[in-house]
Every structure is written in structure tokens, then in C-alpha cells.
Amino acid sequence: MKAGKLAKWAAVTGIGLMLTAGCSVLEPKEQSQPIDPPQSGAEGAAANVQPVSAAVANPMAVTIYARDERGMLAPIAIEVEKTMEPAKLALEYMVEGGPAEGKIPAGFSSVLPKGTVVKGINIVKDQKLAIVDFSKEFTDYNIQDERKILEAITWTLTAFPSVSQVQLRVEGAALKEMPHDGTPLDNALTRAMGINLEKPESVEVGQSTPVTLYFLSQNQAEYKYYVPVTRLIKRTDNLEKAVVEQLIAGPDERRGLTAVMTPGSELLEVKKEADIVTVNFSDTMLGPDKKAPAEALKAVVLSLTENAGVETKVQILVNGEAKVSATDNENYAKPVTRPTTVNPVKL
């Protein structure tokens, strides 16, 4: 394999994230309540109301990944008519000019080329492998969109617990590499490829650990939503602690993202026992009302479960006490699970 292709292959398959994902192929997993984007008073609440089409008679939620106005991919949970092929439907909602056109939040756009037909998806259950067959229109994209397309497909399909890896076909033929920038597809795609990649200059790829973090963004209509970012950090064996430390460090402001943690937040301890990660903060993360910002706690849960596995529960403590109240009045006294949906929008 040529050096250039080797580097691209490593970027797609070899950064080693230990990630799993969210909803059942036939119906969403029942976990906790959906995470709603944080509100900013009455004005923020009004701004987050999206246009709604006719009521869905037999609704179910599927999560798609769309590109926002800054070019970042973000999950959007949409309500659709219940189907026995939700994975196929999710991809169809990601086609430019497809059924999601004009219904996803303002500023968002679909990433799959216009005219693309999802000809079929075969789930190999014992391998948790989704084999997707696209029409020839799938190859009609701009070269700079190649990686975004792969990330969006992979993260959408691996949001179903029956899928952990993805292979692509076009008109029934296996796709060995992407046609424009030559991204190799020798191995199946997984969430190990990351999403919205971020590599600080001080970090060497060969001596790094990838962590996926959830920060906030906002479109011009003041709709707030969570964005996952895979950041390479200096190699560490304490993944959970690193995740929380990076949330406190905040986003790269050049990418237009907003911090989720209270300025001055201090992490006292992170420990993992069985399927529970316990995070102990000092009271510096509390606001004047002695409540923890809802967006901070939700980002901690999303980020930890993204890296440690969606079955992981998260226990939030402040100064060693579990009596933590959030600004949205949610109770975090007991361990909480990852929500079924992120950034829900009714169509």
C-alpha cells in the first residue's frame, strides 16, 4: 500500500477508539430520556422550536448525522413513521434533496450526494456488520466531502446496537477505496475512525489517545445542539479521567463550538467500577444557585458513555456527595444512563 493511502487508511481505521453505539435496528433501545438541547430562557425555547410537518401516525426515532453551517457533523434525532428498515430509512434521510430536505434545523445540510439510492442493507448479525449497497450516484461528490461522508454513514449505522462495523458497495460491487480522494476501504469502517477530528499541534499521532467529546454549537436561528469531536491527546491509560479533563479544557474556539463546563470547574476524582463511572467534582462547577449547569452534566454523560460504552452508567458527585441538582431540575442522585436520542427534532 502506498504511503499516502496508508496514512489515509490509518486515519479511517487505526486510531483505536473503544466506542460503541445507541439504538436497535428494529426499534430504539430503552435507556433514559432524550437529551434536549439546553434552553436560554423564553427566547431560547422559542428559537429551538423547529417547523413540524403533519403528525406522524406511528412514530419512531432514528438518528442521522448532518453537516452544520460550520461544516461539523452532528447527530439529529428525527421522528419518522415506524418501519422494519430504520437503518435504510436513516440513510435515505441523509441524501441531499431527500425526505429530510427543509425539515432538519436551519443551516444543516445532508451529506450523501443528490440522487443516491440506498439499494439495500444486509446486516450480518454474528459479525455486527452492515453491508450497504448504494446506487452509482453515491460516487458523485466533492473530494473535500469524502471523509465527512464516511463519518456520517458510519456513525449513523453504528447507532444501532446490531451494527458495529460497515462495508460499502456501489451497484452491488464492493467499494475498495473511495473514488475521489482514494480513502482505502480494505477493512470495515467503525467508530474507531472518529468524527470531526481534532489534532493539537503538541500531540504526535503515534503517541496519542483519541477521546470523543460533546460540546455545544448554535445555528443562526439560535438552535442549540451537541457536537461530537474526536480529539487526539497525549497517550493515557486513564481514559475516563482524560475525557472529563478535556471537557473542562473546553473546545477549540476556532471551530465555533461552545464550552459546556463552568469556568473554574475542578475535577477531584474519576473512577470506574464494573459498569459505573463515578465523577467527583468540587463545588466550583456549581452556579450561584448551587446547581450544576444541565448542559455540563449532559455533556459529561454523553462523552463518558461514548468512550466507555453506552451501557456504562455515570454517577455525578460534588465534593463526594450525590445530591446534585441540575439547572433543568433533573436529579443526578443516582447513576444515569446514556439517553436514547441526542438533539431531537420533530419532523
The DSSP-derived string for 295-323 is HHHHHHHHHHHHHH-TT-EEEEEETTB--
- In tens, the pLDDT along 239-275 reads 999 999 999 999 998 899 999 999 999 999 999 999 9
Q: How confident is the model at residue 54 (pLDDT cuts 50, 70, 90)?
A: low
How many other β-carbons are positioned within 10 Å of the β-carbon of residue 259?
Answer: 18
Pick from 321, 315, 301: nearest CA to 244: 301
Report whether pLDDT(18) > 70.
no
Report whether pLDDT(330) > 90.
no
Report whether pLDDT(150) > 60.
yes
The DSSP-derived string for 71-125 is S-EEEEEEEEE--S-HHHHHHHTTBTTSTTTTTSPTT-B--BPTT--EEEEEEEG
* CB proximity list for 151: less than 8 A, separation 6 or greater: 65, 73, 193, 194, 195, 196
Task: Give the three cell numbers for residue 271.
Answer: 473512577
Q: Where are the domains of the chain?
A: 3-36+46-192
Q: How confident is the model at residue 202 (pLDDT cuts 50, 70, 90)?
A: confident
Q: What angle is formed at CA 158 by the lines to CA 345 and CA 273, rounded to 5 degrees?
A: 100
Roughly how many angstroms between the first and final C-alpha of the chain, as a whole number?
45
pLDDT computed for residue 57 by the predictor:
79
Find how far residue 299's CA is from the centre of its chain: 11
pLDDT computed for residue 191 by the predictor:
95
- Taking the alpha carbons of 13, 30, 303, 110 in that order, is the dihedral positive or negative? positive
Q: How confident is the model at residue 6 (pLDDT cuts 50, 70, 90)?
A: very low
Q: Taking residues 33-41, report their average pLDDT.
A: 40
Q: Which of 16-30, 126-140, 149-163, 285-299 is predicted least confidently?
A: 16-30
Q: How confident is the model at residue 222 (pLDDT cuts 50, 70, 90)?
A: confident
pLDDT computed for residue 134 by the predictor:
98
Q: What is the DSSP letter of 294?
A: H
Tell me how far apart the alpha carbons of residues 308 and 326 are, in angstroms, rounded to a whole number.
23
Report whether pLDDT(43) > 60.
no
Please tell me the pTM assigned to this model: 0.85
Task: Give the three cell numbers for residue 82.
Answer: 415506524
Tell me how far apart the alpha carbons of residues 15 and 180 are, in angstroms, rounded to a whole number.
23
Q: pLDDT averaged over the chain?
A: 86
pLDDT computed for residue 219 by the predictor:
87
Report whether pLDDT(26) > 70.
no
